[in-house]
Chain A
Amino acid sequence: MSRKFTLLFLSLVLTLPLFAGCQKEAEVIKIGLEGPMTGDYAYEGQGFEKAVRLLVDQTNAAGGLLGRQIELVIEDDAGDPAQAALVAQRLVDAEVVAVIGAYNSTATEPASEIYNDAGLFHITPSSTATGLTQKGFQRFFRVCFLDDRQGLFAAKFIDGVLNAKNIGILHDNSTYAQGLADHTKRYAEELGLNVVFYDAINPDDQDFSPILTNIGAAELDAIYFTGYHAQGGLLLKQSGELGLDLTWVMGNASNNPEMVQIAGLANAAGTYITTEPLPKDVDYPEAKKFVADFEAEYAMSPDSVWWMMAAEAFNVIRYAIEQTESTDSQVLAEFLHNEAKNLNGITGPILGWDEKGDRLGTIHVAYIINESGEFIMNPQQP
């Protein structure tokens, strides 16, 4: 008798936390954020956190979502594909209803497989590698634009605005940078440009003088670097120190004021950047309000367009949950595929998503770094 009682008591005690768990799940809506909080891209990852945290707090203060509070679950992938797979599994285990992330395509690629297997609703703010949406994942979306759109824009800019004939393209072997480089090469050749130099750097290097010496000798009218800002800054600095007179064009991963610091003002001035418009240049009231709130909260402006994209991703998730009154991944995904059209995004108009999950349209523009190191919109656009 007493043994039976003990067993009953034990089983009650042991299952109690499970019930408590269920209760708690019903109260909060967990949303995952995966990004590089440390490592080379920590600047972007920490910005993701700031941007999304701001919106989560605002939503919670206004009564939450469907009457429930939102809990943000943050995981650090350090921009590394191995760690990305690990933390993606942790987010799945934490039972989030949707995930924002990762920053770089190299990390998003393995993570997206895991989210897909778990049936999660997943939006990347910034991973633009074309291949990511070619796998038939039904619940994976982007709020950024495809590399091949930027490649086309870059080719048009180098051809039409810079009037270059012989051009070089340099990437860093990452999924993203190589994709952008390949697309740009294809479009540039279609436009009749000669791609006379095409090569990659190793982003772990500190010294790029060997390849810069070659670039200098190739007599290029323009060179397009598709990699990230730290290497972009070093390339500009070392090319200046070697005394090379090059017209540098950088892709959107170099759209970062830190690049100017690394390069030094004199070496950075005159560099062009193809990118989504900076927060300060987006003219929508939604964007202006977000920038103002961000400045009030953190005493700094959201300098990176990717922080805006992370906020955009959160807004899309919030909007989908509000409209469908559901947190079911499949319902949310179908809503984005079929019903979400012509929204006022904070990075520009959101026309909708195609069947692969790619955001429709494009918003790319060309910037130039001026003498005081500021990014200003280039007066001539293609």
Chain B
Amino acid sequence: MQFIQQLINGLTIGAFYSLVALGYTMVYGVLKLINFSHGDLFMWGAYLGLTGLNVLLALLPQAGAWAILPVVIIVMTTVALVGVLVERVAYRPLRTAGRLAPVISALGVAFILESLARNIYGASWKTYPTGITPTGRIALGGDARVSVMQIVVLAISFLIMGALYLFVQRTRTGTAMRAVSLDHDISRLMGIDVDRIIAIVFVIGPGLGGVAGMIVALYYGSFDFTLGWTFGLKAFIAAIMGGIGNIPGAMLGGMILGIIETLGAGYISPQWKDVIAYVILIIILIFRPTGLLGERMAEKL
């Protein structure tokens, strides 16, 4: 019975890792850049969502749960704009500067975003307005229970990931993205506007990251400015585990990391869960250096 409950706990954590991992993997796919600022863009989603909800609920107290919808759209747009701006200012000028400079630039952006959040919102824990998310639990037989909020989180995560997968596989822009991820110069010769495709990746990645930040904050109810660091690092590892550059790999890596961590924490001890998770990561990388789904080069993004 406990095993089922732990599996549900792990899937929920894994869904958050997957959502954030998507952003790392998409950017790596087209630029071979580890975008360390992604975790902090995600964290900004949580803060902007907080401001948005507070303002909207102050103006329209009767909006209740409906307030979430417009705020999500605003958060997604704003974080996407910041993402595009970051790419334009901090990454594009360094695109021909080798691989180290953009990574350091990305770390710099991460620190800037984190310090901005701390200085603007303060260092204390922030809490989301209560009573706007669904409550209640469903018994699954035995002692195992799943909360309505967990079902909502899992459903939204799978929906986002599925839609993104279809977008990349089935649309013209998606095909162009896959081409750019293989070779910038040849893509350009084929008539693809590489800069435009990269900009689109920086709309989708941070946009989804911002939404993920808001979902995480709604689910846990509280967070502080270190949120981006904690989730960002884990999600980055999930992306590597699944095969960085690969969208289904990010989903798989996130879920696996979430479940391993949870089972490690539940059956051994939370003090050991990171040891267990990283030992498994190292074993996976020894046998599959490109990650679990990393070898399907043709589908790489």
Chain A residues proximal to chain B, CB less than 8 Å? 37-40, 42-43, 173, 199-202, 204-211, 213-214, 216-217, 230, 233-234, 237, 241-243, 258, 261-262, 264-265
Contacts and interface: CB of A to CB of B under 8 A. Distances in A.
Contact of B13 (A42, A207, A217): A207
Contacts of A205: 230, 270
Given A205-B230, A206-B216, A199 B123 contact: no
Interface of B: 2, 5-6, 9-10, 12-13, 118, 122-125, 127, 130, 137, 143, 145, 147, 149, 216, 220-224, 226-227, 230-231, 261-263, 265-266, 269-271, 273-274
Contacts of A230: 125, 222, 224
Contact of A39 (B9, B123, B127, B262): B123
B289 to A, nearest CB: 28
Contact of A234 (B12, B124, B220, B227): B220
B148 to A, nearest CB: 10
19 contacts: A40-B224, A42-B123, A200-B270, A200-B271, A202-B273, A204-B226, A206-B227, A207-B13, A209-B13, A209-B262, A210-B261, A233-B125, A233-B222, A241-B147, A241-B149, A243-B145, A262-B222, A264-B130, A264-B221
A38 B216 CA distance: 23
Given A42-B122, A173-B271, A264-B221, A206 B6 contact: no
Given A38-B123, A261-B127, 4 more contacts: A206-B227, A217-B2, A237-B221, A258-B124
A43 B123 CA distance: 8
B149 to A, nearest CB: 8
B222 A207 contact: no
A265 B131 CA distance: 11
A86 to B, nearest CB: 18
Nearest to B269: A199
A40 B227 CA distance: 11
Nearest to B5: A213
A318 to B, nearest CB: 29
Given A43-B124, A217-B2, A243-B145, A210 B271 contact: no
Given A199-B271, A200-B271, A202-B273, A210 B265 contact: yes
Pairs A-B, 10 closest by C-beta atoms? A42-B123, A210-B265, A210-B266, A209-B9, A262-B222, A210-B262, A38-B123, A261-B127, A213-B5, A201-B270
Question: Which residue of B5, B145, B149 has the most chain A CB atoms within 10 A of its CB atom?
Answer: B5
Contact of B127 (A37, A202, A241, A262): A262
B143 A217 contact: yes
B22 to A, nearest CB: 19
Contacts of A264: 130, 221
Contacts of A216: 143
Contacts of A38: 118, 123
Contacts of A173: 271
Contacts of A214: 2, 266
A253 to B, nearest CB: 14
A10 to B, nearest CB: 43
A173 B12 CA distance: 25
Nearest to B230: A204
Contacts of B220: 206-207, 234, 237
Question: Which residue of B123, B130, B273, B274 has the most chain A CB atoms within 10 A of its CB atom?
Answer: B123
Contact of B231 (A206, A208, A243, A261): A206
A37 to B, nearest CB: 8
B102 to A, nearest CB: 27
Nearest to B266: A210
B46 to A, nearest CB: 11
Nearest to B223: A206
Nearest to A233: B222
Contact of B9 (A199, A207, A234, A262): A207
A206 B212 CA distance: 14
Nearest to A267: B221
Contacts of B149: 241
Contacts of A208: 270
Question: Which residue of A43, A205, A206, A208 has the most chain B CB atoms within 10 A of its CB atom?
Answer: A206
Nearest to B8: A209
Contacts of A234: 220, 222
B19 to A, nearest CB: 14
Nearest to A209: B9
Question: Which residue of A42, A208, A210 has the most chain B CB atoms within 10 A of its CB atom?
Answer: A210
Contacts of B147: 241-242
A333 B12 CA distance: 55
Contacts of B222: 230, 233-234, 237, 261-262
A355 B61 CA distance: 60
B145 A202 contact: no
Contacts of B122: 42
B270 A211 contact: yes
Contact of A262 (B2, B12, B125, B226): B125
Given A38-B118, A173-B271, A206-B216, A211 B127 contact: no
Contact of A258 (B118, B125, B223): B125
Nearest to A40: B224
Contacts of A207: 9, 12-13, 220
